[in-house]
Amino acid sequence: HHSTGYAGVVGSSSNVCIGGWMLGGGFGYWSRRYGLGIDNLLQIDIVLADGTQVAATRTNGYADLFWALRGAGQATLGVVTGFHYQLYPAHEELVLVTGRLPYQLAAHALTQLGVMEPHLSRSIHVTVNNQNDSDNEYEEEGLVLSFFCVGETEEVLMDCQGAIKDFLLSLI
């Protein structure tokens, strides 16, 4: 994004390719701010079973196919060969804070996140993952919480830091 100044919505897992992510809904770090990946789709290039190459959009003759792919894209509707999706100005201000909580705090932590979530800025994305890697002797088991914040100004980042601080204080 540095060369153009624009970026698209992206997923949060390095194990999922763009096709699987987009056609599976497309939840990622910027979803609270810009919507799911499928919300940002403008066109899907696809090869149909008869070999016809088409460009499906919201409004053209393949609109039904466009909407079907957005909801059941991993079904056998054809072979998707390309995506065209909305870009947004790339933000230089990013913060990612990740921490691990022991399982004993899991219920309380998830309850507190549920209380906070409706009040969080749309610039803040929170993920919760299970860390249960018995093969790794250096990592403790527990919940991994990540706060991802994106914004144009330092004020947005201060809001993010405040939300993280409030969450941590709620656990005491």
**145-162 pLDDT tens trace:** 888 887 767 777 788 888
pLDDT score of 1: 44
User: Cα separation of 47 and 76, whole Å?
Assistant: 11
Where is 21: in which H helix or E strand? helix 18-23
- pLDDT tens-digit profile of 98-125? 888 888 888 888 898 888 888 888 788 8
Q: How high is the pLDDT of residue 74?
A: 65
Strand partners, 43: 57, 84
Whether the CB-CB separation of 18 and 3 falls below 8 Å is answered with no
What spatial distance separates the first Cα and last Cα of the chain, rounded to whole Å?
40
Q: Considering the entire predicted model, what is its pTM?
A: 0.69
Position 94: which residue type?
Answer: L
